[in-house]
Amino acid sequence: MAKIRLENVTKVYKGGVRAVSDASLEIHDKEFIVFVGPSGCGKSTTLRMIAGLEEITSGNIFIGDTYVNDLEPKDRNIAMVFQNYALYPHMSVYENLAYSLRCQKAKKEVIEEKVHKAATILGIENLLKRTPRELSGGQRQRVALGRAIVREPAAFLFDEPLSNLDAKLRVAMRAEISKLHQDIQTTFVYVTHDQTEAMTMGDRIVVMKDGLIQQVDTPMNLYDHPGNIFVATFLGSPQMNIFEGTIVKKGEEKHFISLDESIDILIPDVELCQIDERLYPLEAYLGIRPNDIKIETAGFPVEIELVERLGEQTLVYFHLGGRKEFTILSLVEPNSLAKGDKIKVRFDVGKLHLFDKKSEKNLSNAVPIIEMEIEKANLTANEKAQLDKRLINQSRPKSIAFLASNVKTEAEENAHRFTVKVEGEKDYGDRKTYYGRDESLTIIPFLTDKPFRKGQKVDLYVQLDHLNYTDEEGERISDDEPVNDHVYPATLTFRPRGCFLSEAELHNDEKCYKTIRSVRLGKKTLLHLEGAETKQKLLYLVDSSDLIYSSLPIYMRKKRKNGK
């Protein structure tokens, strides 16, 4: 059993394909996590890097507390299940299951016990004497699972294991794998391009696109609170209807108005409580899922262009809001709707999704990073002194920044306190996000399962370790730890003979260094280097775009001592 941690993991294949960029994620112990996204988005590459089948270009991977970047796949204590079952055709099911144990020279009784236990879990005891040829696709898949189970790994990694099965068997195996997870209570990491598999199997889902993690959350939260348009339209079938338009202020009210002005909807305050009032009118997209559009006597008038009856569900297609595409509503009630009918439709205002047009990000989801000018943060002298120790090269800090996920409502030692007034709340089922505004009018979102009222004063705490300095441009300029040594700017270059660091001021005592820690600061990355022999520690600031080299040993281009 193990948690798995990815820190800024990047993969660039030979030839320059950037398959995964800067992926950071913590997979909890015993969690069933599913990576989903369109073909080519980097899901399998991520899984293969966890497995050790693919070298990591930069970043760190931990399984449990072990740093595994340099460990062989066989030493990582994980089991991988692929879509081609890779069973040995000439061996019986029993021997296929026993194979890895025999390779480990396990005792006969141990093999016997483990094989039977796995066969019982999977319900294949009666198949042990057969060869893979004598099995159906589903049975072969079970044997492949069994082979992973006997090894009792810390985590199971699945790469599209069901994609070769027919639709009916896929549904059955989906349920079996979920049940297996409940039975053996081990971390499962599962890759699929199928959103139904992701939604039904995962405790949490990681949505990827173009090598970037888009959002990580429970299936229902991704569905109800998608972080951007991609996630909103990727999950859910038929997909969310998206309208282009503008959010305008009408007195104290905010309205979304579609491009053709046929849609005008009052937006509930809580959806926009984070938005700076000066940004209106704000170009935006409004999203609404097909089952959140209702047919009513008052609403937007439309003419039905197509009706699809799918058994329990009816899909109704029409044009609305100046969209070229059809807008779709879905109904489960019996109806006699037909093409040409004129109806009125209303959007369920509690189920609207608003996205910024430029960034395509959800306007009502909590901002992940909060930034506040230093003077407005009311840091005590002691707090400031602690932060100053982590400042890199006495640069001029303008603001402090912290992650919303690090804001707590419990008093903690060594934490800075912000006092806020609650402005609004959003319910995520398993948790609530509240939006508080402090004296400086900065909105601070915080997650809690405790109830708060609108208008209530609340003390919020952020550990000093989680506060960072940023400069004029919002770039982070402090390390996670005190910076005792001077930090030198440098350039990394890759040559056939290795990765070289060059700069006028090199203070190295030897030629070869390795990176022991890298801290992403934005455009720059702070490299903590350690001499291979002398263990001399040096700090250099390099461009984050050079980061792909940082997992290689670094050679010093000029050998100079103390600038002499």
**Alpha carbon separation from 470 to 297, 476, 524, 540 (Å, rounded):** 54, 4, 12, 18
**Alpha carbon separation from 489 to 148, 272, 501, 543, 561 (Å, rounded):** 48, 42, 10, 9, 17
Cβ atoms 513, 563 nearer than 8 A = no
Distance CA 478, CA 399 (A): 11
Work out how close the CB of 14 gets to ligand ADP at its nearest, in angstroms, rounded to a whole number: 7
Cβ atoms 74, 90 nearer than 8 A = no
Work out how close the CB of 54 gets to ligand ADP at its nearest, in angstroms, rounded to a whole number: 8
State which residue, 36 or 521, has the beta carbon closest to ligand ADP. Answer: 36
Work out how close the CB of 312 gets to ligand ADP at its nearest, in angstroms, rounded to a whole number: 32
> Phi first, then psi: what are they for 448, rounded to 5°?
-160, 160
Work out how close the CB of 42 gets to ligand ADP at its nearest, in angstroms, rounded to a whole number: 4
SS3 content of the chain, % helix, strand, coil (to 5): 25, 40, 40
State which residue, 192 or 515, has the beta carbon closest to ligand ADP. Answer: 192
Work out how close the CB of 39 gets to ligand ADP at its nearest, in angstroms, rounded to a whole number: 4
Work out how close the CB of 156 gets to ligand ADP at its nearest, in angstroms, rounded to a whole number: 17
Work out how close the CB of 15 gets to ligand ADP at its nearest, in angstroms, rounded to a whole number: 6
Cβ-based neighbours of 355, under 8 Å, separated by 6 or more: 228, 229, 232, 242, 284, 285, 286, 287, 361, 362, 363
Among residues 291, 256, 281, 260, the alpha carbon closest in space to that of 271 is found at: 256
Q: How many CA atoms lie within 13 A of 51 on its CB side?
A: 20
Residues lying near ligand ADP in the complex (CB under 6 A)? 13, 15, 17, 19, 37, 39-45
Work out how close the CB of 41 gets to ligand ADP at its nearest, in angstroms, rounded to a whole number: 4
Cis, peptide link before residue 301, omega less than 30° from 0:
no
Work out how close the CB of 375 gets to ligand ADP at its nearest, in angstroms, rounded to a whole number: 46
Cβ atoms 315, 290 nearer than 8 A = yes
DSSP letter for 225, please.
Answer: S
State which residue, 22 or 271, has the beta carbon closest to ligand ADP. Answer: 22
Work out how close the CB of 249 gets to ligand ADP at its nearest, in angstroms, rounded to a whole number: 42
Work out how close the CB of 206 gets to ligand ADP at its nearest, in angstroms, rounded to a whole number: 11
State which residue, 10 or 470, has the beta carbon closest to ligand ADP. Answer: 10
Cβ atoms 542, 486 nearer than 8 A = no
Work out how close the CB of 164 gets to ligand ADP at its nearest, in angstroms, rounded to a whole number: 15
State which residue, 15 or 350, has the beta carbon closest to ligand ADP. Answer: 15
**Complete DSSP assignment for 308-377:** EE-SS-EEEEE--TT-SSPEEEEE-S-----TT-EEEEEE-GGG-EEEETTT-BBSSSPPSEEEEEHHHH
State which residue, 53 or 447, has the beta carbon closest to ligand ADP. Answer: 53
State which residue, 54 or 425, has the beta carbon closest to ligand ADP. Answer: 54
State which residue, 11 or 204, has the beta carbon closest to ligand ADP. Answer: 11
Cis, peptide link before residue 281, omega less than 30° from 0:
yes
- The SS3 assignment for 78 reads strand
Give the dihedral sign, CA 217/223/225/228. Answer: positive
State which residue, 13 or 494, has the beta carbon closest to ligand ADP. Answer: 13
**Complete DSSP assignment for 440-492:** T--EEEEEESS---TT-EEEEEEEGGG-EEE-TTS-B-B-SS---S-EEE-EE
DSSP letter for 380, please.
Answer: -
Work out how close the CB of 255 gets to ligand ADP at its nearest, in angstroms, rounded to a whole number: 40
Distance CA 401, CA 398 (A): 10
Pairing of strands 443-448, 498-502: unpaired
State which residue, 39 or 297, has the beta carbon closest to ligand ADP. Answer: 39
Among residues 202, 222, 162, the alpha carbon closest in space to that of 31 is found at: 202
State which residue, 43 or 426, has the beta carbon closest to ligand ADP. Answer: 43
> 10 Å Cβ neighbour count for 310?
8
Buried b (16+ CB within 10 A) or exposed e, 160-186: bbbeebeeeebeebbebbeebbeebeb
- Gap between the terminal Cα atoms of the chain: 53
Work out how close the CB of 17 gets to ligand ADP at its nearest, in angstroms, rounded to a whole number: 4
State which residue, 207 or 267, has the beta carbon closest to ligand ADP. Answer: 207
